[in-house]
Structure 1
Amino acid sequence: MSRSVKQAGLLDRRIGFYVLCLVGGIAALGATITAMVVVGDSWWQLALAALLAVVFTQLAFLGHDAGHRQMFATNKVNGAIGLVLGNLLVGVGFGWWMGKHNRHHANPNHEDEDPDVDIAVLAFSAEQAQRKRGFFRWVVKHQAWLFFPLLLLEGFSLHAISIGAAVRREVRGWQVELVLFAVHVVAYFGLVFTIMSPGKAIAFIALHQGLFGVYMGCSFAPNHKGMPVLTAGHQLDFLRKQVLTSRNVTGGWFTDFLLGGLNYQIEHHLFPNMPRPHLRHAQKLVRDFCHEKSISYAECGLFRSYGYVLEFLHEAGAELRDTDRLAPSTSK
């Protein structure tokens, strides 16, 4: 399969595509900011907050591609683009995200190794659920119902955690990251509070960051949530480890745009350096190979994928609900 992918040129760079995406993304950001200035102190700014959430997420997708060296040939150029897109424009630390995301790719859906299945407010297995205490335990019991509301906090969490990692000097180049963070924070809050009254500014920030978190979460959740969770001692080889823990989302060009190419999650995990526009071409090769080797290849529509996610989360918290239901009640 790897030979077929290479012979088809699917690992070749698509520099023109990414230059166009970068220009388009920055132009969209500039147009949105211009519209904010023109609209001024108006509640119509909330519509622009929703638009800005989409722009931020699309820029984050490009930062993801830069982190995987999908854009250009050298780590230096991809890294610089990642810092500009992540720290400066979106306000999410590129260095922190890279470390976290690399661990995820090495061991997807591994209960002990993948940071994406080590989340305080969620549990992805009955064992994880049983380890929760206090408020987090209550959240996990109802996590299927609370999943989408919790995503409203995801954007704030990404900002806080990544800035904290740079402040604690846990990332390489933390000085540069902090400078870019500072510019982002000053520009973002300065713009919002300059053109809007305090009440509208706070509403704008809450809506913008909330929808940014929802969009990010809805883009990443279908990829692995609801797929098998691995534990220590599993015997899966690289191919099966990547394929069996991943799910593709079917759809046309709009789904590709909406999810930033992450809908081809199986192909992306097998070939993380593959440029985004080549993933759909690699899909047939990968799917046929998996069918030939009798390896399950998971794919479904976008809304059905959310159904699988919610069903999985509901099942993971079932034991906690049953335990509480069967616990003897005490009365005075």
Structure 2
Amino acid sequence: MSEISCNGDKNNNTAKRKYLGYRGEWYDVTNFVERHPGGDIIEKFVGQDATHVIDTAHSKDVLKSWKPVSLGRKDAPEPYQYDPTSFEKQMLALHVKLKKNGFYDDSVGWFIRKFIIVASLNVVIFILLFNYSNIFYIQCLCSFLLAAFWQQSGMLMHDLMHSQAFQNRKIDEIFGVFFGTFCFGISSRWWKDEHIVHHALTNTVDYASGFIDPQAHEDVWAQNEKLFPFMCEKIHHFFIKIQYWTFLPFCILIGRFGILVDSYRLERRKDVWLAFALHLIWISAMINLLPGWKSRILFYYFASVGEGILHIQLLMNHYSKPFYEKEDMHETGFFRAMVDCNINIVCPVWMDWFHGGLNFHIEHHCFPRMPRNRLREVSPMIKKICAESGILYDECSFTSALTRTMSHLKSVSKLFTAMKDYN
């Protein structure tokens, strides 16, 4: 993004008026910040050009009814020149081309088929347990199917909270709460609040405000040295030193319970709590079909362990990739940063269901509103632009990505230990 000035200081986000840059024009968002449907992420772009974030994150021209700040206004900032790099221009042109050619059009039929398939998993579990709950291998099979149901529901929540299905934010969010909270069990709105920030400022920190990409930070590990200043407690130091041993067990064995606690800790929205109450009702009805508390507890726990694969899928696309400070992120350019901060997972077409579109993470982060069933078609287009620009298009197998993540965590752990010993 262009490096620009707002009221004489691009770092001064506490100025009386708040201006956002879009295609060379300033827009006064002072009174809109609190009403922004995407939350206060807009604050992180005050005094900056936000053209590419705005274009890729919204379904239509959201500034169509807005007027840029008049140059005659007394408090108007100095004009700036919108001059993205060649790579940014090519990527934005691709975005426009894809939109024109229907790649962003709703995929209602495709998603309805996915809805039916995922719902069928739950129906099968109830039928099997109702008729054969005393058979051990049926219990194991149903526990596996419940894990798959949760994982696929989480993927659908992700799609819907990006408005990929119906291209209507309100309708998509209703279905997002259904699959994310009623089916999967977490607060889907909490997840969306964090995910919007994650997409706008992937792998980004801001020491001045204490900001960290909320979906790239956990208290029990640090995957980049830029996170070290946030890890000040002795318990942080203990966990970082062993993070390459604890990463997989934490994700798999207790990942589901951790995200459940995190998502509801500060949740106040009534529709989410209603959906969660209904989730507890159906999951209780399911496990009560099993004979005895021991089998019920083991059934639920092993399903939670199976669902833990989702947490690994969500993290390894980013964990071995670079981090930015906020100002560097703006200067790098949105599309370049999205390519740099992501890894694609190479897999055959028939495995796309398993990854839920996350195997094309570069494409998804560049064009987050594009339905996932179109991402495979877009991949070679971005790969070509990257090759022409001499930019790494990072892709590897699932096992390679996991190995790289583990190796990276170990290297960062050693660096942290060396720095602590030196100090």
Q: Secondary structure at the match of 1:115?
A: coil
Q: Deviations over 1:154-194 (max 9, x none)?
A: 1111222222232xx2xxxx111111111111221243134
State the shift of 1:232 in Å.
3.2
Distance 1:194 1:92, change over 3 A: same
Inter-partner Cα distance in structure 2 for 1:139 and 1:63: 31
The secondary structure found in structure 2 opposite 1:227 is: coil
Match of 2:117 in 1: 24
Higher deviation after alignment, 33-42 or 10-19: 33-42
Instruction: Report if the CA contact (8 A) 1:43-1:200 is conserved.
Output: no
Report the counterpart of residue 4 of structure 1 in structure 2: 97
- 1:161 aligns to what? 262
Question: Residues 24-50 of structure 1: CA distance to partner in whole angstroms, max 9, x if unpaired?
Answer: 111111112221222224433133212
**1:56 and 1:13 mapped to 2: Cα distance?**
24
1:150 Cα deviation after fit: 0.6
Larger Rg: 2
The answer to whether the aligner puts 1:140 opposite 2:240 as a matched pair is yes
Deviation string, structure 1 residues 246-287 (Cα, Å, up to 9, x no partner):
111111123311110111001101111101110000111111
**Aligned pair in 2 of structure 1 residues 9, 127: CA closer, same or farther (>3 Å)?**
closer
Does the C-alpha gap of structure 1 residues 129 and 50 become closer, same or farther in structure 2, counting only changes over 3 Å?
Answer: farther
**Aligned residue among 350, 369, 372 for 1:273:** 369
**Correspondences of 1:1-332 after superposition (within 5 Å):** 1-44=94-137, 45-111=139-205, 112-129=211-228, 131-151=231-251, 152-166=253-267, 169=268, 174-212=269-307, 214-234=308-328, 235-322=331-418
Cα distance change on mapping 1:199 and 1:228 into 2, 3 Å: same
Q: Distance in 1 between matches of 2:301 and 2:239?
A: 22
Distance 1:222 1:23 in 2: 29
Please give the alpha-carbon distance, in whole angstroms, between the structure 1 residues aligned to 2:200 and 2:326.
14
Separation in 2, partners of 1:139, 1:185? 33
Q: Is the 8 A contact 1:54 1:215 kept in 2?
A: no
CA distance in 1, matches of 2:416, 2:192: 34
SS at match of 1:195: coil
Residue 165 of structure 1 aligns to a residue whose secondary structure is coil
Do the aligned residues in 1 keep the contact of 2:121 with 2:145 (CA within 8 Å)? no
Any idea what the Cα deviations from partners look like across 1:19-72, whole Å, max 9, x if unmatched? 100111111111122212222244331332122101110111011100001000
**Residues 124 and 229 of structure 1 are in contact (CA less than 8 Å); yes or no, is this contact kept in structure 2?**
no
Q: Determine if contact 2:226/2:323 at 8 Å carries over to the other structure.
A: no
CA RMSD of aligned residues (A): 1.9
CA contact (8 A) 1:248 1:263 kept: yes
Q: TM-score scaled by structure 1?
A: 0.91
Give the gaps of 5 or more residues in structure 1: 328-332
Contact 1:193 1:201 in 2 (8 A): yes
Please identify which structure carries the higher helix content: 1
